[in-house]
Structure 1
């Protein structure tokens, strides 16, 4: 799978998670597991200049997975916001 395909596969999952969290619901375990798997693949594609950001993003995704498993909605809300901020920063800084 190419990086663009990984990112395009992540987008609907993340949008679904954001919508659910905005409605006060935990994301599904399946969505989060798939999202984490795609984050790992994105990290594998990371170039040196944005490797640290990819690592941070993967770390946040893993924290999100733990928070969902533990049913910690406030933590999930915070992590989804942090993932959104990290994504916006990375795209602003490293897009061609």
Structure 2
């Protein structure tokens, strides 16, 4: 399976987040910025449907994340819920790649 540089950067960012190297707010900021670059690039047109679902699922999890407990709704993810969801998504992706 071939991945372009933006796809590799997205996967690396997910990996370092799930290893605890970066915080949820840092992951949110960096992932959303990189995801938008990827979305707007021509690279996203040549990716597999499964990989697209993978990175979009992480985007959706981040969209449900709210770092501020004062404005967090009951359906929003906190840091722990976001981490667990990204782990789950990542494990599903790793199972698929094997």
TM-score (norm 2): 0.55
Structure 2 gaps, min length 5: 70-77
Aligned-partner Cα distance in 1 for 2:57–2:35: 9
Q: CA deviation at 1:63?
A: 1.6
Aligned-partner Cα distance in 2 for 1:82–1:46: 25
Aligned residues: 84
Structure 1 gaps, min length 5: none
Aligned-partner Cα distance in 2 for 1:26–1:20: 7
8 Å Cα contact 1:10/1:38 also seen in 2: yes
Distance 1:79 1:34, change over 3 A: same
The equivalent residue for 2:27 is: 31
CA RMSD of aligned residues (A): 3.3
